[in-house]
Structure 1
Amino acid sequence: MTVNQHVEQFHGLPVFDFVHALQEAEASGEAGAARLPEAAAVAWRIALEYESEQSWVERWQQFLDAVDTERVTALVIGQWAPDEPDSFREPLDAVVAAAPRLPALRALFAGDITYEECEISWIQQCDVTPLLTAFPELTELVVRGASEDWNGEGGLALEPLRHEALKALRFEAGGLPAPVVRSVAACDFPALERLELWLGVDSYGGDATVGDLAPFLDGSHLPKLRHLGLQNSEFQDEIAAALAHAPVVARLESLSLSMGVLTDQGATALLEGQPLTHLRALDLHHHYLTEEMQQRLRQALPGVELDLSEPGKPDDRWRYVAVAE
């Protein structure tokens, strides 16, 4: 997963850019004759181009009018304010208001915005709880960004709730606020199989601690969890040490401690903790491990799909997470 390019596949479907198709039709003088795929065959991306004369809500209304929305299963919401950062509140309200017209919606990506369009630390999010309450059959939710608006108001939030259907949840941020992490832990997600949290750095609002992660580690929460990603963290070694003896690990199929400042200290804790040989995959990409430690991991986990790509210099005094600003 990268923030340098738009998502091309989502929820097992190719992403189709609805606005781009409209623009091609408008440029050819056939504004009402855009060539569109079958409604359930793609994940529909609604996003504005730079200096767009239309608002995101206007493009959204065109989507509702042109597509058989009762058969749409996946939505990707891209740039909603191309001239300057603006809150996700208006697009969120528009999508929630259209919920009765989207009975088949199962997956939603809120914030498919690249670095070129807007740095992740500038993506102004809001309380995304209404997305889960409006779509009780949603099985996958991805949210990118966490920032407040220019008045210091809003910002990413989630109220504790129960959602019966959600199977995959990912928060992507250069700094994930501790209240959001705690709220996820307080939610009741009986069907959740995949959870990924990009924790980020304190200077961009990522103020969660290892203590905030405890509910995900004790094994009593999220009964169907099979993949856990606690990623993009400055305290990746502490997370690794906590996971070394965490009950949840025994029932995971895959684990990600990638994108962060993982050093030999954290990897040693993992190797000296509970067995990890049952895992299908262990993702440690973007790390600061020595060659010797990487070899130890390969030897200790011969049957595990081990991602040790994007190594940093272990002796570098300046160590960075993969996604911050």
Structure 2
Amino acid sequence: MTNENPGHGAVWDLRGDSYAHVVGEDGGGSSIQRNFEDFLATRDLAQVREVVVGWWGPGWEGNTSELPVRLLSEVADRLPNVRSIMLGDIEPEESEISWIEHGDVTPLLEAFPLLETLHIRGGSGLRLRPVRHGALRTLWFETGGLPGHVVRAVAGSDLPALEQLEMWLGVSEYGGDATVADLAPILSGERLPALRHLGLQDSEIQDEIAAAVASAPVVARLEALALSMGTLTDEGAEALLSGQPLTHLRRLDLHHHYLTGTMVKHVEEAFAGTGVEVDLSEQEEPDDDWRYVAVAE
């Protein structure tokens, strides 16, 4: 069942009883609140398992994700079977990824103790406090600049069920100021006993990250590793190949990289016959020594 507004887009869009898509209009916060109230009044909330929050309005003061976060958190007891929340399902025509305005998203994890997937797009103003969450299995930050304090909050959280962690770290110009030191608790794996899929991507310090990953304890139990979308060069690839074995992986994702043809061949040869699926697509060329991540603005 789908209900759409012929103007800005879907006011609320329900694709079967288990899916709810709530968005605002050009009017910003007041419209998303009205649309959310419509959603609450017209659906069997006990059937909803997935909530996707789209455009909540232009980025003037107050029009951040704090409003939909608050609205959802306040009615969490009426949504007992929600297992997945996507916050920021916003197309580039509505807002570039680094212009999406957020606030503190911690209340979602606090209000939904059975949540299994949290997917956040956009990093501007994003805040997170260290939490303990026993059910979360997938945590995905899709940004052009993930603040270091958010990375440190993830690293300081207790997430015993987390199987997949993906962080698009982005660039400093858009707030992506995380360092390898911020990632150290994640790479140790001590608080992430169930982690099997790790993505540390879209970074302008991709070589440094690759070097740290090469000796990271968490890698031994991973099934998939993504160091893609960033500025990986031969230096980072050589560090990976010289470090701990990676042939236990099912997939190694290095797409959008700056490896030379010689290094691409070297990597391919290193994994030939191992069964590891290696993605070396999107071989980029520096622009006057400038290297660009795949997603920034």
Given that 2:22 and 2:36 are in contact with CA atoms closer than 8 Å, whether structure 1 keeps it comes out as yes
1:129 to 106, 109, 118: 106
The 4+ residue runs of structure 1 with deviation greater than 6 A are 51-54
TM-score norm. by structure 1 comes to 0.84
Aligned to 1:39: 17
Task: Decide whether aligned partners of structure 1 residues 207 and 250 sit closer, same or farther in structure 2, where only a CA change above 3 A counts.
Answer: same
| Structure 1 alignment gaps of length 5 or more | 1-15, 25-33, 148-154
Residue type at the aligned position of 2:17 = A
Deviation of the 1:102 alpha carbon: 0.4
Q: Is 1:58 aligned to residue 67 of structure 2? A: no
Aligned partners of 2:78 and 2:64: how far apart in 1?
24
Aligned partners of 1:78 and 1:315: how far apart in 2?
35
Aligned partners of 1:185 and 1:197: how far apart in 2?
12
Deviation of the 1:54 alpha carbon: 6.9
Q: Is 1:100 aligned to residue 72 of structure 2? A: no
Aligned partners of 1:35 and 1:273: how far apart in 2?
48
Could you list the per-position Cα deviations for residues 11-64 of structure 1 after superposition, in whole angstroms to 9, with x for gaps in the alignment? xxxxx8x5xx2436xxxxxxxxx9965412xx3221235568970111111111
TM-score norm. by structure 2 comes to 0.92
Tell me how large the CA RMSD over aligned residues is.
2.2
Q: Is 1:112 aligned to residue 106 of structure 2? A: no
Aligned to 2:277: 305
Q: Is 1:321 aligned to residue 293 of structure 2? A: yes
Deviation of the 1:114 alpha carbon: 1.8
Aligned partners of 1:59 and 1:311: how far apart in 2?
44
Equivalences for residues 225-240 of structure 1 within 5 A: 225-240=195-210
Aligned to 2:158: 188
Aligned partners of 1:63 and 1:125: how far apart in 2?
22
Task: Decide whether aligned partners of structure 1 residues 291 and 23 sit closer, same or farther in structure 2, where only a CA change above 3 A counts.
Answer: same
Could you list the per-position Cα deviations for residues 143-171 of structure 1 after superposition, in whole angstroms to 9, with x for gaps in the alignment? 11121xxxxxxx21111111000000011
Aligned partners of 1:106 and 1:37: how far apart in 2?
16
Q: Identity over the aligned pairs, expressed in percent? A: 56
Given that 1:288 and 1:311 are in contact with CA atoms closer than 8 Å, whether structure 2 keeps it comes out as yes
Given that 2:210 and 2:239 are in contact with CA atoms closer than 8 Å, whether structure 1 keeps it comes out as yes
Aligned residues: 290
Given that 2:59 and 2:100 are in contact with CA atoms closer than 8 Å, whether structure 1 keeps it comes out as no
Given that 1:50 and 1:83 are in contact with CA atoms closer than 8 Å, whether structure 2 keeps it comes out as no
Residue type at the aligned position of 2:82 = L
2:141 to 153, 156, 171: 171
Aligned partners of 2:109 and 2:13: how far apart in 1?
31
Aligned to 2:9: none
Deviation of the 1:192 alpha carbon: 0.3
